[in-house]
Structure formats: C-alpha cells, structure tokens
Amino acid sequence: MTAVDSIVRTLNERFADATRIVTPRANEVHCELSPVGINRLADLVCRDLGAELIAIAGDDRRREARVFFVHYVFADRAANWFVHASVRLNGGQPELPTMAPSHYAASRFERELRDLFGIDVLGHPDPRPLVKHAFWPEDYYPLRKDANAPSFADDGRPFPFTPVGGEGVYEIPVGPVHAGVIEPGHFRFSVMGETIIDMKSRLYFTHKGTEKLFEGRDPMACVELAERVSGDTSVGHALAFCQAIEAAAQAEAPLRARLLRVVLLELERLYNHMADFGAIANDTGFAIAHAHCFRIRERLLRLNKQLTGSRLLRGTLAPGGLVRDFEVPVDLAAAIDAALADFEEIVAICLANTLVADRLDGTGVLSAELAREYGVVGYVARASGVDIDARRDHPFAAYDQLRFAVPVHTAGDVRARTRVRVEEARESASLVRQACDALAGLKGGPFRIELGRIDPFAAAFGIVEGWRGRIVHWVMADHHGTLHRVKIVDPSFFNWPALSRALTGNIVPDFPLCNKSFNQSYSGNDL
C-alpha cells in the first residue's frame, strides 16, 4: 500500500470531519477539513509521517459560496507525496485556529492571511502585522475580491520591535533606504558595543500586488508576470507557474520541453551562484573576485541571450512546454564548462587567501536544529546540514532522468553557504551537459502540448528548486477558465527569519557578509 493510500484510509477512519477526499494526482491527497481538524492533520502528517508545511494559501470565495477557504500544502521529502487540506471559513467573520505554536512557518503564513484577507487567526502568539504597513487603512485587505484601493496615509505609529534593554545596549536602525543600490529592507539591530544581541528585519516595502495581478487572467498569458516575481529567478518562478497550470490541466510537458527546461533552470542557477560568489568576496573587501565573477556572469548572460534571445532567459517557457522550440548549440556544454573553469580559478584564489578565509569561517552560523525549525530551504538549508533539494525530492522537468549530487555541508557558516554554491555550480554544469546529450539523442519531437480545460476551483501546485531554493506556485481557476487565485511562495519567505538567528553573537560589520551569503529576495518575499 502506498503512502497516499494509507493517508486516505487514515483520513476516512480517524477524521470524521474530512470530506471530499480525492487523489487528483498519484502522489497527492486533497481533502476538506473543519477548522478544528486542521491542527490534528498537521500533527499527523508532520509529526508522525515526517512531512513539512510548504504553503498556506487564502482564497476569497464569498461571491461563489459566501465563504473563505484556507488551503494547506504539506509535502513529504522522503517519499514524495503531498497532502492538500482546505478549510472552509465563515464569509462574514472568518476565524481560523492558529498552527503557530507547533509550526513556525505557519505562523508567518497566518500573519500574511490576517493582513491580506482579514482572516482572524485565533490564539496567534504574534499580533503584529507582517505584510501590512502603517499607511494601510485599518479595514483594507487587498486580496479580498471586493478590495478597492483607498487612500493611504501613515498613522504615525512606529512598528513595535521587540525591545532589548540593559546597560550599554543600543539600537541601530538601518534602511529601508541603503547606501548601495539594493532592495528596500529595514533592519533593527540591538547591539552591545559591536556585538549583535538581536536583529529584526522589517520587510514588505515592495508590495506590488503581484498575486492579485494574476486574478482574472488567462493562465497562458501569465507567464510574463510569473517571470517578474523576482527578477533574478525568472525561470524558477515561470517554471513553477507553468508546472502548476499543467498539474491543474492534468497534463505533462513533452520530454524535449522538459529537458530544455532543465537547461534553462540550470543556466539561471549558474549565473546567480557565480555572481553571488563574487559578491560575497566583495563584501570581505576582495574586489578582484567580484570584478571577475561579474565578468563570468556577463559571459553567461550573453550565452543566455544567444540561446533564448533574453539575457535573463525570459519569454521561453509556456504552460504545456515552451513558447517556441529552439536548438541548443552543439558547443553550449563546452562554453559552460569553459566558464566554469574560469570560475574555479577565481574560487581557488579566493579560498586560498587567508584574509578572505578568515572572514568567511565561523561567521553567521545557522545551526542544523534552527534551520530545521525555521524550515529554511535552498543553499541556506544545505549549508546547515539539511539535505533538501526539490529536484531530487519532488522530481520535476527531466531531473528524474539525470544524475546529480546534492552538496550538503554542516558548518552552517558563510563559508559553508559559499562552498555549497560553488559545488552546485559544478553540478549545474554537469546537468546542462547531460541534458544537452539527451536532447541530441532525442532528435526533435514536440516541444509543447495543448492544455485542456482546467477544472474550476480545483487546487493545483508546481514545485521547482530555483537557485535560491524551493519555489511553490499554487493555482486555482474559476468557472471561466481564468485564474481565481495564485499563491506564490518564494524560498526567501522561509529563509528571511533565519537570518536574524544566524547573526546573533556576530559583530555589526559582519552583517553585510552574512546577509549576502543568504542573499534573499525582497521582491519575491513581498508580492
């Protein structure tokens, strides 16, 4: 009996409130539960079966059914199965019991629900807003279907940061406007001399209404939007979106498209990891590595342009496959290998420099225990000993046909995060080579299938291991076949809070280095 079957049986036997239990895809169980039952289910799948909460999505269905829905997605990494549970809430006065005490990630999703949908989360330990800023009117919930943009005015109240007191402790407020050209984020340091006692980040200065923009649009016309969720993760987000739409339409892209998707995703990983390595070295003052890594990044971006016509690999993916077919030049793998060899030389010079090494070693340590509790993903998790990679755990595109290693380090410091990137870059180059070989063996074949009609109000999701980590796109269509709701979970959503913990006990001038080694997206986090 498979895991999915046994979960269905458990739901039938032990959850009297579970209704509409279906398995739309072989490794997915969907069900509807009462608000009380959801915590029991979370305990069952997370504590007893070892799955993790990967997304919570709100859904305003008051027009159709006078209710709000909240959807929970749990994923099991070991056996690759998913549980999707929906909770129906009163449309007039939506209330939801909190899951926060036992699931840290849930606490942040719930604060998001409260700010964007006005859903009351009962018993939530943190009453502070997450997304909402002081200039949003009290009753403005932008993801409700009837939300209208009112006038915005600052209420003048400061955000209630956790106060840290004691003799000699003082606060350093930094941002949201920084001296460098980076995205906006406010960081509140409580320090003693130069030692950081606590750091709290206040993000969400870039709320663009991205999720709302998807609503009411034809899914085929939304790839451009998905590509712009976070500029450096164009392929990652677009692919997650395409896969979610394909799952909703019960379709699978043809092999040729899936192999080309691997090539695109790995090219994106390569240019970001290499640029990141240089940026980390630059934050130690070692500018020469930065200059050269940017040169290599430029080399890769030109390859991207040559391959797809877009330096950021945009405009290529489509639900069902690709927008258009393209040939992979025979020398692509060789060009990538040459860029990698170039990169390896820079890496060797940097890591052999004792001054650089001294800055990286032991800086910003995130322990494996904390990494697990915060549910961090991507290279941050892998540098802290958490063996997680959606390409292997939930195979998508053509990753089940390719061989690759998942580098894991246990030190959890800046050096480990840097080394994970370097080793992943090597794996990416190897994956590109394998995919190119497989494509050469394929000799043509279809690059897209036409998608059929999407079932209205049936949830589906796509999971992709972007260069920062696991990306989840959750989609639901309405009766017209247009999108009713899209929920995007960028890896940064999970990783941002862990940064504060990694900083504790470090010194203020090392913050930029730690921050760069995490390199989270502000835009992808604040949709």
Partner 1 sequence: MSRAIAILFQTLLAAGLAPLVGGFIRWVKARLNGRRGAPPWQPYYDIQKLLGKEAVVSRTASWIFRATPFVVFSTSLVVASFVPLVAAPAGRFIAGDLFAAVYLLLLGTFFLALAGLDTGSPFGGMGASREMTVVALTEPTVALSIVALALNAGSTSFSQIVSRTLAEPAAALGPGHLLAFAALFIVTLAETGRLPVDNPATHLELTMIHEAMVLEYSGPYLALVEWGASLKLFVFLALAVNLFMPWGIAVSLAPIPLAIGLVTFVVKIGVLATAIAVLETRVAKLRLFRVPELLSASFVLALLAVLSTFLAR
Q: In angstroms, rounded to a whole number, what is the distance separating the alpha carbons of residues 222 and 215?
A: 10
* Other Cβ atoms within 10 Å of 36 Cβ, number: 10
Nearest approach in angstroms of CB 159 to partner 1 is 17
Is residue 88 involved in binding partner 1 (CB under 8 A)?
no
Q: In angstroms, rounded to a whole number, what is the distance separating the alpha carbons of residues 439 and 431?
A: 12
Is the CB of residue 346 less than 8 Å from the CB of residue 292? yes
515: part of which helix (H) or strand (E)? Answer: helix 511-518
The contact pattern for partner 1, residues 175-214, with x = CB under 8 A and - = no contact, is ---xxxx------------x--------------------
Is residue 298 involved in binding partner 1 (CB under 8 A)?
no
Q: In angstroms, rounded to a whole number, what is the distance separating the alpha carbons of residues 318 and 224?
A: 9
For residue 290, give the amino acid letter.
H
Q: What is the DSSP letter of 510?
A: G
Nearest approach in angstroms of CB 346 to partner 1 is 11
Q: In angstroms, rounded to a whole number, what is the distance separating the alpha carbons of residues 137 and 139?
A: 6
Instruction: Give the position of tokens 């960028």.
Output: 490
Residue 34 tokens, joined: 């009462």
Is residue 147 involved in binding partner 1 (CB under 8 A)?
no
Q: Out of 16, 134, 153, 291, which residue is the one contacting partner 1 (CB under 8 A)?
A: 291
Name which of 5 and 358 has its Cβ closer to partner 1. Answer: 358
Name which of 78 and 291 has its Cβ closer to partner 1. Answer: 291
Nearest approach in angstroms of CB 288 to partner 1 is 5
Q: Out of 250, 353, 367, 504, which residue is the one contacting partner 1 (CB under 8 A)?
A: 353
Q: What is the DSSP letter of 327?
A: P
Spell out the residues 6+ positions from residue 292 whose beta carbon is closer than 8 angstroms to its own.
278, 342, 346
Nearest approach in angstroms of CB 348 to partner 1 is 15
> Considering only residues 459-498, where is the footprint of partner 1 by CB under 8 A?
none
State the virtual CA torsion across 106, 107, 113, 114 in degrees, nearest 10. Answer: 160
Map 143-175 to HEC letters: CCCCCCCCCCCCCCCCCCCCCCCCCCEEEEEEC
Crossing angle of the two packed helices 414-442 and 255-283, in degrees rounded to 10: 150
Among the listed ranges 43-51, 174-182, 418-426, 491-499, the one in contact with partner 1 (CB under 8 A) is 174-182
Is residue 510 involved in binding partner 1 (CB under 8 A)?
yes
Q: Out of 16, 122, 287, 405, which residue is the one contacting partner 1 (CB under 8 A)?
A: 287
Is residue 345 involved in binding partner 1 (CB under 8 A)?
no
Is residue 106 involved in binding partner 1 (CB under 8 A)?
no
Nearest approach in angstroms of CB 155 to partner 1 is 23
Is the CB of residue 451 less than 8 Å from the CB of residue 319? yes
Strand partners, 460: 475
Is residue 511 involved in binding partner 1 (CB under 8 A)?
yes
Burial of 343 (0-12, 13-18, 19+ CB in 10 A): buried
Nearest approach in angstroms of CB 428 to partner 1 is 24
- Half-sphere exposure (CA, 13 Å, Cβ side) for 60? 19
Is residue 505 involved in binding partner 1 (CB under 8 A)?
no
Is residue 286 involved in binding partner 1 (CB under 8 A)?
yes
> Considering only residues 320-339, where is the footprint of partner 1 by CB under 8 A?
none
* Other Cβ atoms within 10 Å of 294 Cβ, number: 15
Among the listed ranges 89-97, 337-345, 490-498, 502-510, the one in contact with partner 1 (CB under 8 A) is 502-510
Q: What is the DSSP letter of 72?
A: E
- Half-sphere exposure (CA, 13 Å, Cβ side) for 159? 20
Name which of 133 and 295 has its Cβ closer to partner 1. Answer: 295
Name which of 295 and 448 has its Cβ closer to partner 1. Answer: 295
Q: Out of 1, 26, 149, 355, which residue is the one contacting partner 1 (CB under 8 A)?
A: 355
Among the listed ranges 51-59, 136-144, 169-177, 407-415, the one in contact with partner 1 (CB under 8 A) is 169-177
Name which of 301 and 508 has its Cβ closer to partner 1. Answer: 508
Nearest approach in angstroms of CB 340 to partner 1 is 19
Is residue 396 involved in binding partner 1 (CB under 8 A)?
no
Name which of 295 and 392 has its Cβ closer to partner 1. Answer: 295
Sort strands 81-90 and 195-202 into parallel, antiparallel or unpaired. Answer: unpaired
Is residue 405 involved in binding partner 1 (CB under 8 A)?
no
Is residue 134 involved in binding partner 1 (CB under 8 A)?
no
From 525, 492, 527, 475, select the one nearest 57 (Cα to Cα): 475
Q: Out of 285, 309, 445, 452, which residue is the one contacting partner 1 (CB under 8 A)?
A: 285
Residues that bind partner 1 (rule: CB under 8 A) add up to a total of: 31
Q: In angstroms, rounded to a whole number, what is the distance separating the alpha carbons of residues 11 and 158?
A: 46
Is residue 509 involved in binding partner 1 (CB under 8 A)?
yes
Contact residues for partner 1 (CB under 8 A)?
171-174, 178-181, 194, 281, 283-288, 290-292, 295, 353, 355-356, 358-359, 507-512
